[in-house]
Structure 1
Amino acid sequence: MIIFDSIRNFISGSMSYDEIVMPTLDALQNMRDYYAGVWFLNHQSKQDFTGENNKAYKGATAFFDSCDEAYFVKKRKRKENRLIATLEPMKQRDDTKPQAVIIDTANLSLEFDDYMLYAMNEKQATALEYARDITKENPNGISRNNLINEIKKEPNMMK
């Protein structure tokens, strides 16, 4: 496996023009033809901090057109030797699903895990924990509205 971080470091000239980026992308295709797994990282354009991330990539359309699969990658956690990121398919073949990847930098290993375990923000994860605890306290069941009202009562939920 070969990882290029960031692809802009391997392209001289404007990354906005197909004719500038295609020689580099052709070279990556040649590596793939020799059974190398090739990942290249490309960054986003500046985002508006007031809205939701648009998940757009930076540069020429050839980046998206030339790859077999494209993912929106978001770093979730880094602790000691472990980096956790979520991968959300933006272009996919077959039946590719979103997933989390755990990279151990000490032994250079990759582990794939359930996307939803890592994709939740802190408030979502907290609400899910509260919901689990509340449903345990109600073995005969609880309505959705009552569950929501109970979650809202928790001190960290309405901040």
Structure 2
Amino acid sequence: GVECREFSVCRFIGNTIQNATGNGVQIDSADATFTGDVIQNNANYGLNMTASRVRVTRVTVKLTTAGTSGPGNGVEIDSGSTLTVEQLTVQNNQGAGVSLIGGSNLTNRSWAGPFLVSNNGVGGIWVTEQSSADLGGATSINNTGGAGVVITGNSEASFWQGGTFT
């Protein structure tokens, strides 16, 4: 996998990041942008963010499996991180599709393209521990082991501009 740490700025364009026995991509106390990347077949977490700011544009995260230090979530947004979505597909991960924990934030810019979360093993989008998500226009369907969207732990979510959630 790839690690971007310690106040670095990382730009990913058109990459396939796959088959890591640890996280596919770890962004820790850093800024990153992804454009046209595929993150697939990794263990623990596909894209894991801690105290970081990330923007994804035309990105796919899929087929993440549980490992020794993670449940197989597609996208993990932790410790006050911010994710801006400008077209993202998160599918077929063993854990949750997207998980926000610890005062983190997700904003979907639906005008830029679809945000699709589907066929994940432990629910679609989890917004927990004082986190927030603007999910307008998102689609979270066919996830097992949990609802399309779960909001808990003094968190909040907005669902403007429609969307499909099952």
TM-score by length of 2: 0.25
Larger Rg: 1
Judging by fraction of residues, say which structure has more strand: 2
Judging by fraction of residues, say which structure has more helix: 1
